[in-house]
Structure 1
Amino acid sequence: MFYPQADAQAGASRQRYVPLRTGANLPASIFNLFTLSTTVSYALDIWGGERRNVEGLAAQADAQRHALAAARLTLAANVVNTMIARAAYADEIAVTRELIALTDEQIRLTRAQVNAGASAYSAVLSLEAARASLDASLPALEQKTGEADDLLATLAGRYPAERAPPELSLAEIALPAELPQTVPSELVRRRPDILQAEAALHAASANIGVATAALFPGVTLSASGGFDATRASALFGAAGKTWSVGASITAPLFHGGALWYQRKAAIDAFDESSAAYRQTVLSAFAQVADTLRALDHDAAALDAQSRATDAAREALRLVTIEFETGAAGYLQVLAADQQYRQARLAWVQASAQRLQDTVALYAALGGGWGDSRQR
C-alpha cells in the first residue's frame, strides 16, 4: 500500500544442530532457541499497482454503501406502498359494507312492492344478485388487509403475530404539494443503483491497473532486527542482537501467460461493468419516464372520478330534497345513495393508484425530487 508494512514475530523452539552441515567435524548439539524480531518492508509503487489497488478497494466500499442505500430506499418504498394499499383496502371494505346495507334496504322495500303487486319479482332477484356480488368481494378484501398487515410487520422486523396495523384511511395520506412534470438527468443520476453501478465500474477500471502493474518488475525495501538467545532470560542481551537491511527486485519471467490473461480478464470485466452501468442508467430513465406517464394518467383518472363522485353526491342531495317534498320515492333515494357509494369506491381505487405511483416516482428518483441538500 502507500505505507510500509511492519510485522513482529516471537518464537521458542528446541533444536538439534549438526555441524557437519557446514563441514565442521564436531558432535551434534541440542539447545533451546528463543527469538524476537521485527520486520519492516516497503514495496515501491513504481507502476501504480498499489495506488490502483487502494482505489479499487475504495470503489468496492462505495458500491456496498450505495447497495445499502438502495436497500433502505426499497424498504421505505415498500412500507409506504403497503400502508397505502392497507388504507385503500380498509376504505373499500367500509364502502362495500355501506353498499350492502343500502342493497338490503332496497331488497326489503322491493319485496314490499312485489307483495303489493307494484313490482315484478325479477327486481328482487337482481338486487339479491348484486348483494351476493358485494358479499363475495368482502373476503378477498379482508384477506388482502391481513396480508398487508403481515407484510408491514415483516418490513418492520417483527413477526406477523406481533403486528400492530395502523388505523389509516386514504384521506389521511397527502400527495406532495408539487409533482415534477419533467426530471433533469442530475436527479436520476443520484439513484443508489446507478451510483452502485458507477462504483463497480470504477473498481473494474482499477483492477486493470493492478493487473497491468503485475506485468512489470517490483522493488521492495526491507529491514529487520531482533534478538536470538538460548535462554529466555538472556533474550535481550547485546550478544543476541540481529539485524538485516536489503532490497529486492522481482520480475516476472514466465508464468505461462497467466499474467497476460489476468489483465485481459480485467479488461473484459471492465467492459461488462461498463455495459451493466449503461443498462442501469437506461433502465432508470425508462422507469422515471414510465412513472411520470403513469402519474399523468392517474391525475386524469382521479380528476374524472372526483367529478363523478361530486356529481353522484349532488344527485343524492337533490333526490333527498325531492323525497322530503314527496316528489320522489325512498327507493330512488337508496338508488342515488348506492350510485354515490360506488363512485366513492372507484375514487378510493383511483386515489390509491396515484399515491402508489407517486411513491414509485420517489423511488425512481433515488429518494425524491427536491434538492438533496434539503432532504
Structure 2
Amino acid sequence: MNAQTSRANTVARTLKLGVSVISFAVLAACANYAGIHSDKQIDQPQQLETSRSLPQEQGHWPSADWVDQFGDAQLKALIAEALQGSPTLEQARARVARAQAYSETAKAGTLPRVDASYTLTRQQFSSTALIPPPYAGSWQTENKGLLTASYDLDLWGKNREALRAAVSEASASEADAEVVRLTLDTSIARTYNELARLYALRDIAQQEVARREQIERITAGRIANGLDTEVERKTADANLSTSRARVSALDGSILSTRYQLAALLGKGPDRGLAITRPTLGVGDDVRLPDNLPADLLSRRPDIVAARWRVDAITHEVKEAKAEFYPDINLSAAIGLDAFGFGRFLSAASRTASVGPAIHLPIFDAGELRAQLKGRYAEFDYAVATYNQTLIGALSGVATQIAQIRSSDAQLGDALAAQQAASDADRLATTQYKAGLTNQLTVLNADVTALNADEAIANLKMNRRDQQIQLASALGGGYVDTSAQTDHHADVAAAPASQVKSAVAAR
C-alpha cells in the first residue's frame, strides 16, 4: 500500500512539474513567432468585373458526356478508350494514390502506437565499470522482450494540422487528376476536329483538281482553235500539278493526325490507322449559364485544386506554429529481461516503465522562425496561384465565347462571299470555253472560289474547336463536392477573410 502511495505521489509530482514547464513554454513560445504573418487573401468572383464579358444567357453547364452534342459515336468511343489506357492518366492516378498514402501516414501520427520487440545480446561486461561481480568481466547472454506503447498528446494540434494538410493535398491531387482527364478529353476532341478539318479541306482540294483538269481540257481545245498558246498549256499543267500536290500534302497531314490520336489514346501508331473519317455535327446552341463567375469555382478542377492547396498550406502554417510549443509524449513498456535463458520466463525477470517525455524548444538559432516564414511564403504563393488560376479561367471563358460570336458573325458574310465566288467561277469558265475571256481571268476566279470554300470550312471547324474549348473552360462537366463531404476542409470552402483569420489564428 505504501509503495502504491509512493508511486502515486511520484506521478502527481511529475504531472505538476510538467504543467509548470508547459506554462513557462507557452509564454516563451508565444513571443517567438511575433511579427510573422501574411495579409494575402484569395480573390472572390464578385471582386472581378465580369458582367459585360460574361452575361447571363440562361444556358446550361456542360455535362460529363459533353462530346455527345456533336453526334459522333467514334469520338465518344475514342475518349472512353483513352480513359482506360492513357499513361498520362495513370501518372495522375499514381499521384493521387501517393497523396492518399501521405494522408494515411499523417493520420497514424494522431493515434496511439504499440510495438513489440525482442533482442538477444551476447556481451562481455567491463571489470572496472558499473557492473558488479559476479558479472564483471564475464560474458553474458541477455534476453529482452518488450511490449511498448506511446501516445503524443498533441496539445497544440500539430499532428492534427499535419493530417488536415495531408487530406487537403490529397483532395488537390484528385482535382489535378480531373484536370488531366479534362485536358485529355479536350485534346482528343480538338485533334479529332482537326482530322475533320483536314478531310474537309481535302474534299475541297480534290474538287479543285477536277476544276483544274477542266481548265486544262478547255485550254487544249483553245490551243487547237488557235485561241491560246503553249504558255497557257504550261500554266494549266502547273496549276493542275500544284492542286494534286495539295491533295497529297493533306493525305500526309491526315495520317499524322491519326498518329497523334493514337498517341493520345496511349496506343501505338497502327491504332490511328483504324480511325475512320469523323462525322461531327454542329453541336448544341451556345449560351453561357447564369451565375457563371461564382459557380465556376466548383466546376473548374484547376481552381478547385488551387483552393485545396491554399487550405493545405493554411494547416501547414498552423503546424509550424505548434512547433514552438512543447511536445508531450506518454510512453509505457512491459516485458521480460534476464541473463541467460533459464530465468527469462520467470516472474523475477519482469520489467516495466511508464512516464511522460517532454520536448521543449528553448534556443534553436532561429530555425523555427525561419521555418514559419517559409510556410507563410508558401501560403502567399498558393494564394497568388489561386488568384491567377481564377483570373485565367474567367478570361478563358470570355475569350472562347467572344471567338464563337465572332465566328458566327463571320460565317454569314463568308457564305455570301462563297456563293458569289462560285457563281463568278462558273461564269468565267463558261466564257473561257466560249472564247469570250482569257485563262488568267478563269484562274483568278478559280483561286477566289477556292479561297472562299476553304474559308467556310475553316470557319466551321474553328467554331467547333472554340465550342470544344468553351466546354473545357466551363469545367467539362466536373463538379466538386469534396468541400461539403470532407470535414477536414474547414478553410478551403471559406471566404477569403476566413482563410486569412484561420492562418493567423494562433
TM-score, normalisation: structure 1: 0.84
Equivalent residue for 2:170?
Answer: 61
Alignment match, 1:246? 355
Displacement of 1:342 in angstroms is 5.7
Cα distance in 1 for residues equivalent to 2:248 and 2:293: 45
Of 268, 273, 276, the match for 2:377? 268
Distance 1:298 1:66 in 2: 33
Offset of residue 23 of structure 1: 6.3
Which residue identity is paired with 1:4?
A: P
Residues in 1 aligned to 2:271 and 2:280: alpha-carbon distance in whole angstroms: 24
Match of 2:199 among 90, 96, 117: 90
Is 2:257 the counterpart of 1:180? no
Report the Cα offset of residue 266 of structure 1. 0.7
| 1:320-365 Cα deviation digits (max 9, x unpaired) | xxx9xxxx96999x99999777644332211111111111111212
Q: 5+ unaligned residues in a row in structure 1: which ranges? A: none
The separation in 1 between residues aligned to 2:228 and 2:355, in whole angstroms, is: 112
Which amino acid in 2 is paired with 1:198? R
CA contact (8 A) 2:301 2:480 kept: no
The alpha-carbon deviation at position 117 of structure 1 amounts to 3.0
Distance in 2 of aligned mates of 1:244 and 1:330 = 115
The offset of 1:25, in angstroms, is 4.8
> Which of 228, 236, 241 lines up with 2:337 in the alignment?
228
The number of aligned residues is: 360
The alignment status of 1:137 with 2:246, answered yes or no, reads yes
Equivalent in the alignment of 2:123: 15
Is the partner of 2:150 in helix, strand or coil?
strand
Out of 132, 143, 150, the residue aligned to residue 34 of structure 1 is 143
How high is the TM-score relative to the length of structure 2?
A: 0.64
One of 273, 279, 284 as aligned partner of 2:393: 284
Q: Residues of 2 paired with 1:206 and 1:306: CA distance?
A: 59
Q: Is the 8 A contact 1:187 1:365 kept in 2?
A: no
1:354 corresponds to which letter in structure 2? R
| Aligned residue identity for 2:218 | L
Q: Deviations over 1:25-49 (max 9, x none)?
A: 5442322223322221111122121
Q: CA deviation at 1:77?
A: 0.7
CA contact (8 A) 2:324 2:361 kept: yes
Q: Which runs of 5+ in 2 are unaligned?
A: 1-108, 482-506
> Is the counterpart of residue 6 in structure 1 residue 82 in structure 2?
no
Residues 236, 78 of structure 1: CA spacing in aligned structure 2 closer, same or farther, 3 A cutoff?
Answer: farther
Which of 361, 367, 373 in structure 1 is aligned with 2:476?
Answer: 367
DSSP 3-state at the match of 1:22: coil
Cα deviation for residue 80 of structure 1 reads 0.9
Deviation larger for 40-49 or 231-240: 231-240
- The aligned counterpart of 2:33 is none
2:110 partner amino acid = F
What is the one-letter code of the residue matched to 2:148? T
More off after superposition, 116-125 vs 198-207: 116-125
Separation of aligned partners in 2, 1:140 and 1:33? 84
Looking at structure 2, the residues matched to 279 and 15 of structure 1 have their Cα atoms a distance apart, in angstroms, of 65
Could you say which residue in structure 2 is the equivalent of 1:256?
365
Q: Work out the CA distance in 2 between the residues paired with 1:223 and 1:13.
A: 23
Q: CA deviation at 1:8?
A: 2.4
Distance between the aligned counterparts of 1:366 and 1:342, measured in 2?
36
Q: 1:243 to 1:116 in 2, by over 3 A?
A: same
CA spacing shift, 1:43–1:131, aligned 2, 3 Å: same
Q: Give the match for residue 208 of structure 2.
A: 99
C-alpha distance in structure 1 between counterparts of 2:221 and 2:321, whole Å: 93
Residues 94-243 of structure 1: pairs in structure 2 closer than 5 A: 94-118=203-227, 124=233, 127-169=236-278, 172-181=279-288, 184-189=292-297, 190-230=299-339, 235-243=344-352
User: In the alignment, is the contact (CA less than 8 A) between 2:304 and 2:480 conserved in 1?
Assistant: no
How far off is 1:283 after superposition? 1.1
Over aligned residues, Cα RMSD in angstroms?
Answer: 3.2
